[in-house]
Amino acid sequence: MVQSTLPWPPVQAAGNNPCCAAAMLDNAGGQISEMSAIGFYCFHSLAASAWQEVTDAFRQICRDEMRHLEIFSTLAMQLGAEPRLWSPCGSLSSRCRYWTPAYLTYHTGLDSILAAAMDEEERSRQKYLMQAAWIQDENVCDNLRRIAEDEILHLQILKGLYEKYVPPDETAGKPVSPVFPPGAS
């Protein structure tokens, strides 16, 4: 696993809380969500299949994201929401928007794949920590912070892969895009 070694807090919300439930639903099935991360890593593990180490890391990170999805869905249910892959459209709206693969970014160059993965992990980490700052349920906050720790580890792994496989372009100072699939021109 590529998870933090910190212990997992119990997944047990204090009680019914519609605002907190909406945040957990968004973490599970919103645009910046665990479902989006799973879709991203599934597609890009295929797009990066010429780099076995990258593919293996993506598959392992994807397993972590599935665990996070389960945690957020369980918390949403405990907080009083139906744990579908959807996100409320507004703060007090009864309408929800279902998760869609249109939320994903699709890349073919290894540099852009890894850069997008790092960006998504950082955006998720920031989102979870911002939620932990306003949510009052301590167990939910503990889970948000614990998942944010996994995202930090994922970022470190992705940065290491980027540094290993994406050499700097010496003329422009920008990364070189490997050709996808390898060998194609």
The reply to whether omega before 181 is within 30° of 0 (cis) is: yes
What does the pLDDT average to over 130-136? 98
- Name the 3-class secondary structure at 113: helix
98 φ, ψ (degrees, to nearest 5): -70, 150
- In the chain, the domains with their CATH numbers are 18-165 (1.20.1260.10)
Q: What is the mean pLDDT of the chain?
A: 90
**Tokens 């890593």 sit on residue:** 41
The residues facing 86 across adjacent strands are 98
Nearest alpha-carbon partner for 134 in 26, 20, 14, 10? 20
CA nearest to 103, candidates 26, 43, 32: 32
pLDDT tens, residue by residue, 54-69: 999 999 999 999 999 9
- 67-76 tens-digit pLDDT: 999 999 999 9
pLDDT of residue 172: 42
Q: In the chain, which ranges are continuous DSSP H helix? A: 18-29, 34-47, 52-78, 110-134, 138-165
CA 164 from centre of chain: 22
The model's pTM: 0.88
